[in-house]
Amino acid sequence: MEMSVDLCGIRIDNPVIPASGTFGYGYEFAETYDINCLGTFSFKGTTKEPRFGNPTPRIAECTAGMINAVGLQNPGVEAVINEELPKLKTCFDKPVMANVSGFSVEDYAYTCERLDNEEQVGWLEVNVSCPNVHGGGMSFGTDPKSAAEVTRAVKAVTTKPVIIKLSPNVTDIVAIAKACEDAGADGISLINTLLGMRIDLRTKKPVIANKMGGFSGPAIKPVALRMVYQCYEALKIPIIGMGGISCAEDVIEFMLAGATACEVGAQNLVDPMASKKIIDTLPEVMNKYGIDNLKDIIGGAH
């Protein structure tokens, strides 16, 4: 039974990848299990300068999911290179996916160029879609021209595969994905969180200090699946699917829609063992549905 897939020219043992923001820099989870069982993982969204993030409260639970407005809290790219990556190297011996955010085209290019030089970084996942930071992120990912501009700027200063992570908070996801492919993207990640909110009935005010935040979890899976399916029809580059994945069956479903690999996000916060459990149960689910090789089912629903 073959679970390995080729992601932008790099072979990974299986298609299961913990998503950025839900897995830190890896070593916290390495205390719970051997994270080398993962295909890879996408580390915490990294920006040029350190960021404290948004005011609290910044997490709210909701039916079949959660809302977060953490606001890209991270120590900045220099600290990631000098402190986080050396720590990660002690517990993870595969290429890691570097997730990058920015507030200007120059920010993205600078941070990607710095991380591109790091031996352990295999892919650059460029988040043009964070819906919970004022004045940044979302505007790049909601306009094909802006998304393409970031893609071109990053590709000009890097040698490693560039995967653009897109926002679902748009009317035409295919146009934006296509613009990124035309600008040189090596892959597309979708979807990032939807925009959501909760209101506290006692205080009659929004639960989250930021008012709104990124909505993730099982409730968003049908939207994510639909967008992966639509983009697969239009693109030639690989797609990483994510949005509400919580079991091995979900991974199979996303791959049938057109995903080459899958990221597990909110479920890691519900159960720290989630990604390992999905990998452990994949062979059994493949067997149940008569699948010998995962590569064979990519886009199989088309």
**59 located within any domain:** no
pLDDT, residue 87, reads: 96
pLDDT, residue 53, reads: 87
Tokens 């088309």: give the residue: 302
pLDDT, residue 135, reads: 46
Q: Which domain holds residue 84?
A: 5-53+72-197+215-297
- For residue 106, the domain's CATH number is 3.20.20.70
HEC string for 162-227: EEEECCCCCCCHHHHHHHHHHCCCCEEEECCCEEECCEECCCCEECCCCCCEEEECHHHHHHHHHH
**94 located within any domain:** yes
**202 located within any domain:** no
SS3 content of the chain, % helix, strand, coil (to 5): 35, 20, 45
**205 located within any domain:** no
Q: Which of 130, 180, 231, 262 is catalytic?
A: 130
**171 located within any domain:** yes
**207 located within any domain:** no
Domain total in the chain:
1
pLDDT, residue 244, reads: 98
**204 located within any domain:** no
Q: From first to last of its 302 residues, what are the pLDDT tens digits of the chain?
A: 999 999 999 999 999 999 999 999 999 999 999 999 999 999 999 999 999 988 999 999 999 999 999 988 999 999 999 999 999 999 999 999 999 999 889 999 999 999 999 999 999 999 997 543 444 445 688 989 989 999 999 999 999 999 999 999 999 999 999 999 999 999 999 999 999 999 999 999 999 999 999 999 999 999 999 999 999 999 999 999 999 999 999 999 999 999 999 999 999 999 999 999 999 999 999 999 999 999 999 999 99
> 125 pairs with which residues across the strands?
99, 163
pLDDT, residue 130, reads: 53
**302 located within any domain:** no
pLDDT, residue 138, reads: 54
Taking only the tens place, the pLDDT of each residue in 88-115 is 999 999 999 999 999 889 999 999 999 9
Please confirm, yes or no, whether 91 is among the known catalytic residues. Answer: no
Predicted structure pTM score: 0.96
CA distances 58 to 19, 20, 74, 113, 147, Å, are 19, 17, 15, 31, 27
